[in-house]
C-alpha cells in the first residue's frame, strides 16, 4: 500500500505508460517535482501488464504503443482492477477514440499538445483529492466500528473472548450467514451489532427482530410486510424487516422459536433472496447480511424434530458460541469495573472501586443470568454503597456456585452423592428441570427417574 505523508493524506502512485522517451521524461519529472507524486515510467504494454500487481493509484496511458493499442490495454487493466482510474493520452486525430473509452469507463483524456503537462497535473490533483477524501471516510468508518466496540460491554481478555473477537472480524469481512449461540444474557445481540458496525454495511441499518416476542400469526407480516387490505386490520401497506434491512444487517434473535411452517417460508426467501409482501404480487429483491441467534442448541432442535434441517444448514454459516460468564475468569472483574464506571458516569456519582472482599464475592458467583445479571448486580451495588468503595455487603447476590469444597466427602454411597449433587443443582436453577438436565448432561427422563428413586432430593 502507498505511504501516507500525513493523516488522511495519500501520495499517489502513478504509472506513466508512454513509448516516447522525451514525453515520458517531461511528464514524469513534472509530476515528481511539482506535486511530489510517486511516478513509474513504463514504455510498453508488456511492461505495464508486468507491473500491475504493484497496484497503481492511477495510470496515464498513451493510446498508441508498439505492442498494444490503448483499447486492448484498457480492457486488460479493467479486467485486472476496474477501480484504477485510467487517463487516455492521445493525439488530436484520436479524440473520437478517447471519447469512446470515456464512455466505457476511462477517467479522463489528455490531448498531446502544449497544455498536456498542466492538464495532466490538474487531473492528478483531482484524483488525489478524491482518494484522500475516500481514505478519510474509510478511517472515520473504522473509528466508528472501534468506538462501538469500545462503548459496548462486549469486553474481556480471556482466551474465550479473544477467540470471539477473531470470529467477529471474520464475520464482518464477508457476507456469510452467522449463527450465534449461547446462554441467555451472554451478549448475542452485542456480537451481532459488533459484526455490523465493523463491516462495509455499517452505514446502513441494523434491524433486529426477536422471534419469540412476536405472535405466530403476525411473524410473516413482521418479516416480509403486507399490502393494504391483505387481511383484517391491514389498513395500510407495511414494510417488513427484510425490506427494512436491505443493504444492511438483519438480526433474527431466538430463531429456534419460529413456527415449523414459517421456517419453510423463511428458507425459501433466504435461498431465492427475494420475497413478496402478504397480499401482494410484486417480487422484492433484498441484499442483507443475515445473523441469527438462539439460546438453544439448534443441532439438538433439529434432532428433536423442532427445527428444519435444511434451514439449519442454510443459516449455520459461521457459528459463534458465546461462553457463559462463569467460565471467563477475570473478565468478571473487568466487566464489573466497566459497569460501575459507566453507571457512576451516567448518574454523576463519584467513581467507585471494589474491595478485595467484593472482588472475591463476585468471582465466586455462578451468574446464571450471565453478563446481563452482572450488570444489574453492579448497578445496585453502586447505589447501595455509601462510600467510594464497593464492599461485599453492597453486592446483593445469591452465592449458589457449586464447588467440590461444598460437597462433604464422607463415607457415602454413590446414590447419596447423586442425591446431594442433584439437590444442589435443583436449588441453584430454581427447579428448572430442563436447565438442570442440561447442566448435568442427562436427559429430563433420566433426571425425573433420579428424583423418583431418591425421595430426599429437594422437592421441585
- CATH number for the domain including 427? 1.10.10.60
Residue 166 inside a domain? The answer is: yes
Q: What is the pLDDT of residue 267?
A: 97
Q: In what order do the strands lie in the sheet with 318-321?
A: 206-210, 249-253, 289-294, 178-181, 318-321
- Angle of helix 433-440 versus helix 414-428 axis, rounded to 10: 130
Largest CA distance in the chain: 105
**DSSP secondary structure letter of residue 17:** E
Same domain, 345 and 358: yes
- The answer to the question of residue 167 being in a domain is yes
> What is the residue whose three cell numbers read 499517489?
12
Q: Report which of 63, 46, 159 is spatially closest to residue 102, judged by C-alpha positions.
A: 63
Q: Give the list of residues 6+ apart from residue 422 with CB closer than 8 angstroms, or none.
A: 436, 440, 447, 450, 451, 454, 457
359 in the same domain as 411 = no
**Looking at the structure, do residues 79 and 220 belong to the same domain, yes or no?**
no
Listed in sequence order, the residues at least 6 apart from 13 whose beta carbon sits closer than 8 Å to its beta carbon are: 2, 37, 38, 40, 54, 55, 56, 57, 58
Model confidence pLDDT, tens digit, residues 428-439 = 777 778 777 777
What is the residue-level pLDDT of the chain in tens, covering all 460 positions?
444 434 445 678 999 999 989 999 999 998 988 777 899 999 999 999 999 999 899 999 998 888 998 889 999 998 888 889 999 988 766 777 777 888 888 899 888 888 888 999 999 999 988 888 777 766 765 565 555 555 555 788 899 999 999 999 999 999 999 999 999 999 999 999 999 998 999 889 999 999 999 988 899 999 999 998 888 877 888 899 999 999 999 999 999 999 999 999 999 999 999 999 999 999 999 999 999 999 999 999 999 999 999 999 999 999 999 999 999 999 999 999 999 998 999 999 999 999 999 999 999 888 988 999 999 999 999 999 989 999 999 998 864 444 444 445 555 666 666 777 777 777 777 777 877 777 776 677 777 777 777 666 655 4
Same domain, 439 and 295: no
The grid coordinates of residue 225 equal: 410486510
Looking at residue 458, its pLDDT comes to 55
Asked, for residue 295, whether it belongs to a domain, the answer is yes
Domain co-membership, 172 together with 301: yes
Last residue of a domain, one of 282, 299, 321: 321
Does the residue 369 lie in any domain? Answer: yes
Distance CA 283, CA 384 (A): 57
Closest by Cα among 197, 190, 206, 192 to 145: 197
Q: Using the 3D structure, point to which of 321, 337, 352 is the last residue of a domain.
A: 321
pTM of the model: 0.58
SS3 398: coil
Pair 339, 390 in one domain:
yes
Q: In terms of domains, do 61 and 80 share one? A: yes
Q: Do 304 and 168 lie in a common domain?
A: yes
The answer to the question of residue 460 being in a domain is: no
For position 20, which CATH number holds? Answer: 3.40.50.2300
Q: What is the pLDDT of residues 104-162, one digit of tens each?
A: 888 998 888 888 889 999 999 999 888 887 777 667 655 655 555 555 557 888 999 99
- State how far the alpha carbon of 15 is from the alpha carbons of 9, 32, 38, 112, in Å: 19, 12, 9, 17
CA–CA dist 103, 98 (Å, integer) = 9
Residue 142 lies in a domain: no
Look up residue 213 and give its DSSP letter.
G
- 266 and 169 in one domain? yes
Residue 140 counted as domain residue: no
| Segments of 28-152 assigned E as strands | 38-42, 58-62, 86-90, 108-111
**Residue where one domain finishes, among candidates 105, 135, 165:** 135
Which residue, 350, 353, 351, is CA-closest to 389? Answer: 353
Closest by Cα among 392, 397, 381, 373 to 344: 381
Helices 444-453, 414-428: crossing angle, 10 deg rounding: 120
Supply the CATH number for residue 218's domain: 3.40.50.300
> Would 141 be classed as within a structural domain?
no
Q: Which of 198, 167, 169, 170 is nearest to 181 (CA)?
A: 167
CATH number, domain at 370? 1.10.8.60
Query: Are 314 and 196 in a shared domain?
Result: yes
Q: How far is CA 304 from CA 93, 238, 301, in A?
A: 76, 35, 5
How high is the pLDDT of residue 457?
Answer: 66
Number of domains the chain is built from: 4
Whether 97 and 58 map to the same domain: the answer is yes
Domain that holds residue 91: 4-135
Please tell me whether residues 385 and 438 are part of one structural domain.
Answer: no
Amino acid at each position: 500500500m502507498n505511504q501516507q505523508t500525513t493523516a488522511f493524506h495519500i501520495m499517489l502512485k502513478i504509472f506513466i505508460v508512454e513509448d516516447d522517451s522525451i514525453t515520458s521524461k517531461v511528464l514524469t519529472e513534472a509530476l515528481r517535482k511539482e506535486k511530489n507524486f510517486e511516478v513509474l515510467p513504463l514504455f510498453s504494454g508488456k511492461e505495464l501488464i508486468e507491473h500491475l500487481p504493484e497496484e497503481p493509484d492511477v495510470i496515464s496511458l498513451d493510446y498508441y504503443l508498439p505492442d498494444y493499442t490503448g483499447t486492448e490495454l484498457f480492457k486488460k487493466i479493467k479486467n485486472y482492477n476496474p477501480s484504477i482510474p485510467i487517463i487516455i493520452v492521445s493525439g488530436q486525430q484520436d479524440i473520437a477514440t478517447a471519447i469512446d473509452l470515456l464512455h466505457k469507463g476511462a477517467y479522463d483524456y489528455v490531448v498531446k499538445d502544449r497544455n498536456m503537462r498542466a492538464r495532466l497535473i490538474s487531473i492528478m490533483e483531482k484524483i488525489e483529492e478524491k482518494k484522500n477524501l475516500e481514505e478519510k471516510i474509510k478511517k472515520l468508518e473504522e473509528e466508528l466500528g472501534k468506538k462501538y466496540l469500545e462503548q459496548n460491554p462486549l469486553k474481556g481478555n480471556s482466551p474465550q473472548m479473544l477467540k470471539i473477537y477473531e470470529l467477529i472480524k471474520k464475520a464482518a469481512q464477508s457476507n456469510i450467514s452467522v449463527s450465534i449461540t449461547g446462554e441467555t444474557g451472554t451478549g448475542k445481540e452485542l456480537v451481532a451489532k459488533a459484526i455490523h458496525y465493523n463491516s462495509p454495511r455499517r452505514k446502513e441499518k441494523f434491524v433486529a427482530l426477536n422471534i419469540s416476542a412476536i405472535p405466530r400469526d403476525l411473524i410473516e407480516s413482521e418479516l416480509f410486510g403486507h399490502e393494504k387490505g391483505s387481511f383484517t386490520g391491514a389498513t395500510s401497506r407495511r414494510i417488513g424487516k427484510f425490506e427494512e434491512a436491505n443493504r444492511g444487517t438483519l438480526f433474527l434473535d431466538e430463531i429456534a422459536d419460529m413456527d415449523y411452517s414459517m421456517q419453510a417460508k423463511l428458507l425459501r426467501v433466504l435461498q431465492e433472496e427475494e420475497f413478496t409482501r402478504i397480499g401482494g404480487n410484486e417480487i422484492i429483491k433484498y441484499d442483507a447480511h443475515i445473523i441469527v441467534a438462539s439460546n438453544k442448541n439448534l443441532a439438538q432442535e433439529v434432532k428433536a424434530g423442532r427445527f428444519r434441517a435444511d434451514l439449519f444448514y442454510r443459516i449455520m454459516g459461521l457459528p459463534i458460541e458465546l461462553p457463559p460468564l462463569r467460565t471467563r475468569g477475570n473478565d468478571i472483574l473487568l466487566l464489573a469495573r466497566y459497569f460501575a464506571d459507566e453507571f457512576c458516569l451516567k448518574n454523576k456519582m463519584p467513581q467507585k472501586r471494589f474491595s478485595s472482599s467484593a472482588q472475591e464475592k463476585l468471582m465466586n458467583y455462578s451468574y446464571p443470568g450471565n453478563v446481563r445479571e452482572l450488570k444489574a448486580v453492579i448497578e445496585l451495588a453502586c447505589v447501595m454503597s455509601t462510600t467510594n468503595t464497593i464492599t461485599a455487603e453492597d453486592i446483593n447476590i445469591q452465592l449458589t456456585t457449586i464447588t467440590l469444597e461444598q460437597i462433604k466427602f464422607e463415607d457415602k454411597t454413590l446414590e447419596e452423592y447423586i442425591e446431594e449433587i442433584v439437590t444442589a443443582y435443583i436449588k441453584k436453577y430454581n427447579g428448572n428441570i430442563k436447565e438442570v438436565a442440561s447442566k448435568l448432561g442427562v436427559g429430563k427422563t433420566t433426571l425425573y427417574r433420579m428424583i423418583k428413586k431418591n425421595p430426599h432430593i429437594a422437592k421441585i
